Structure 1
Amino acid sequence: MKAFSILLSFSLLITVWACGSKAEKTTATIESADETIVPVKLSPISTVVRAEPVVASGLVSSAQEARLSFKVGGIVDRMFVEEGQSVRKGQLLATLDLTEINAQVSQAQLANEKADRDLGRVKSLYADTAATLEQLQNATTGTNVAKQNLTIAQFNRSYAQIHSTVDGTVTRKVANAGEYISPGASVYQISSNRRSDWVVRVGVSDKDWARLRLGNRASIMLEAYPGQTFNGTISELAQAADPVNKLYEVEVRINPGSARFAPGLFAKVTLVPTQSRSYTLVPVESIVEGNGKEGFVYVLAEDRKHVRKLPVQIGFLDGDKVLLANGLSGVKDVVTAGSAFLTEEARVVVK
């Protein structure tokens, strides 16, 4: 009986030990199943020297634009050209009714003639000592004033007509015959149609303005000509910012080639500064959590079983590559395939 009790106790001990070992093995199996290993692919990084482009938009216009007006006010007599017409330099475009202006010229002429007669009589009297030196001087001054008034009246009459100052196209006409026009009010707007005069004016920030120079290259894309790129160069850089939008105006002269341009065409301009800098080049798929100029990449940790998440500053895109302005110092490879599923706690294996 005693031997049976000892045998039963030993059997129970073996059963408990077996169950414990099985439970430990099951727990270890579950823990191993819960740990996910993410396969990743590495891509090497490189360094390039580039000039970061400046992208802006604007409207095509002519470098030679004229806003023509009458010097004096009056009633418009005739308008000889309409919007869209081509004109030649020196061509007569419009005239005022000269009734009042001719009367002013005649009045000035009569006043000048009277002043000349008065001066002649005073000179004769002065020779006979019947007039004083002061009277002679006053008559001489009166004659000179009358001549200047006649010159002013004749000058105003000459500018009661509008002549084209450039070879070009009438882009705007703002008056009609019979209307009253005040002095200096714009009547015609004319743009030169010479192929070398087409420009695009765009606004850039102070940071971009400081990197640009006269003669820098530019590429221009027009919505009117999709898929076609035009070449240009920077011809003017503003020396002061616009007081309204705080941007600096840049004028880009375009080579139209065989295309037909017109003022007002919308253009997207890419300016290429001469100043260049060094960038780190990585595949675009390596960037995670990109937000504007900020983003992150994953790199292998020292144990090569985990990854580290590093912040980077994005310079600009170049096809399927990203040029980084800073970050990744001392790093040779970045994670590409599999980066979207990573965390710094995940285990990884390099494919």
Structure 2
Amino acid sequence: MDVKTFSHHLIAVALCLSACSRGEQRTDGLADSDVIPVRTIQLATRDTSQLIRATGTFTTDDETVLAFKNGGVIQQIGVREGDSFRKGQVLASLESTEVNTAVRQAQLGVEKAERDYRRARQLFLDSVATQEQMENAETAYEAAKQDAERAAYNLGHTHIRAAFDGYVLQRPASPGQVVGPGSPVLVVSSTGRSGWLLKVGVSDRQWSAIQLGDLAAVTTDAAGGARFQATVHRKSEGIDPQSGTFAIYLKLNEQGLPDVASGMFGKAEIRLSAQTGAWYIPYEALLDGDAGTGYVFVTDDGQTARRIPVQIGEIQKDHVVVTGGLEHATSLIVSGSPYLRDGSKIAVK
């Protein structure tokens, strides 16, 4: 290679290196070697109880749905929503014409089967009928008696009788309505206006964090925004297919609680009993927050910035609650972050 050709190669390499160097320059007008002034704060964890906010409806601890064993036409419902009742009182009844007919038919079947059995038995004693014929007649007689017992049992369940003293919460059915077996006719409670619960729906993650006995504050429009104390009384063991949430039952302190009704809307703030370490940081220190995660800059030596991911627990009125990611950091950079990169040189103001 001659000297002229060699010189051309050196110029090409120099131009390439220059272009590459210009391509890596920062867009903010700063060089990577520049020292960026920043302000920092010392990090310290706080023990904090997190709040879970949820909404739901009022219900009772022993809410019971009453229904007929067999379907039919409702003849009468003797109580309305809000009525009280006594144990043994007839609350509702079905038209019994069809059931009475079935009972009479079953009785006639018993009478015929009994006559057939007696005739077969006498013929067997006279050596006219075989033992098998007599035994078949006896079996038919016993089966007819069982049919009669079943019909009589169904007749006894054309009425709904109160099993306890209580209070009507809901009446989802009306006289003259055709209902199927097990269709709700009345929703009752044995405690009336006491023992109220607020049933709220939460996510699976919140469900696992909430513990029995956790304290809560409940508000309802019926009380004009007043707050009432409650505790976590029960947790559902399965998901509600309609709402896609898990149910939490909050038992209310009845002292001062206004009149409420089943199905009335309420709001709750559940305070988790488990204490968790958290950091309260200023808004300006958080970068690229998204779906519970974000980034911040910290410094270990006061000379170099380090970019780390953090977990965001809650965004409150004047700060951000960080629940993870700052365990091994001592100083948080709270100003100058937009100009920083991982490894940038800094000067603490």
TM-score between both structures, scaled by the size of structure 1: 0.70
Unpaired runs of 5+ residues, structure 1, are: 1-37
The equivalent residue for 1:66 is 64
Pairing partner for 2:47 from 46, 49, 65:
49
Give the distance between the partners of 1:185 and 1:237, measured in 2 at CA. 23
CA drift at 1:276: 3.5
Q: Which runs of 5+ in 2 are unaligned?
A: 1-36
The answer as to 2:250 corresponding to 1:263 is no
If you compute each CA radius of gyration, which structure gives the higher value, 1 or 2? 1
Displacement, 1:291? 5.9
Q: CA RMSD in A?
A: 3.8
**The residue matched to 1:139 in structure 2 has which SS?**
helix
Compute the displacement of 1:159 (Å). 1.1
Distance 1:285 1:169, change over 3 A: farther
Q: CA deviation at 1:296?
A: 6.4
Opposite residue 79 of structure 2, the aligned amino acid is V
Q: 1:317 to 1:165 in 2, by over 3 A?
A: farther
Given that residues 80 and 168 in structure 2 are in contact (C-alpha distance below 8 angstroms), is that contact kept between their aligned partners in structure 1? no
1:249-283, Cα deviation, whole Å (9 max, x unpaired): 33333333331331122222333444443212346
Matched residue pairs, number? Answer: 308
> How far apart are the structure 2 equivalents of 1:45 and 1:119?
95
Residue matched to 1:110: 108
Normalised by the length of structure 2, the TM-score is: 0.70
Structure 1, residues 87-130: CA drift from partner, whole Å, max 9, x if none? Answer: 33432112223233222212212221232233233333323333
Question: What is the aligned partner in structure 2 of residue 186 from structure 1?
Answer: 184
Query: Could you tell me whether the CA contact under 8 Å between 1:220 and 1:230 is conserved in 2?
Result: yes
1:283-313, CA deviations, whole angstroms, 9 ceiling, x for partnerless residues?
6786688666456667789779x99987643
Please say if residues 93 and 163 of structure 1, whose CA atoms lie closer than 8 Å, have aligned partners that are also in contact: yes
- 1:172-211 deviation digits (Å, cap 9, x = unpaired): 24222x4444444333233454466422333322222333
In 1, the alpha carbon distance for the partners of 2:242 and 2:91 equals 35
Larger CA deviation: 95-104 vs 140-149: 95-104
Q: Which whole-Å CA distance do the structure 2 matches of 1:146 and 1:138 have between them?
A: 12
SS of the aligned residue for 2:222 comes to coil
Q: Deviations over 1:299-347 (max 9, x none)?
A: 789779x9998764332257755431134456556677xx6998669x9
The 5 A counterparts of 1:1-351 are 44-165=42-163, 167-176=166-175, 178-194=176-192, 197-225=195-223, 226-238=225-237, 240-243=238-241, 245-259=243-257, 260-282=259-281, 293-294=292-293, 312-316=310-314, 322-328=320-326, 332=330
Q: Secondary structure at the match of 1:224?
A: helix
**Structure 2 CA distance for aligned equivalents of residues 320 and 52 of structure 1:** 16
Which amino acid is the alignment partner of residue 264 of structure 1? G
Task: Name the amino acid aligned to 1:92.
Answer: V
CA distance in 2, matches of 1:43, 1:194: 57
What is the deviation of 1:161? 1.1
Structure 2 counterpart of 1:49, one-letter code: D
Percent pairwise identity:
31
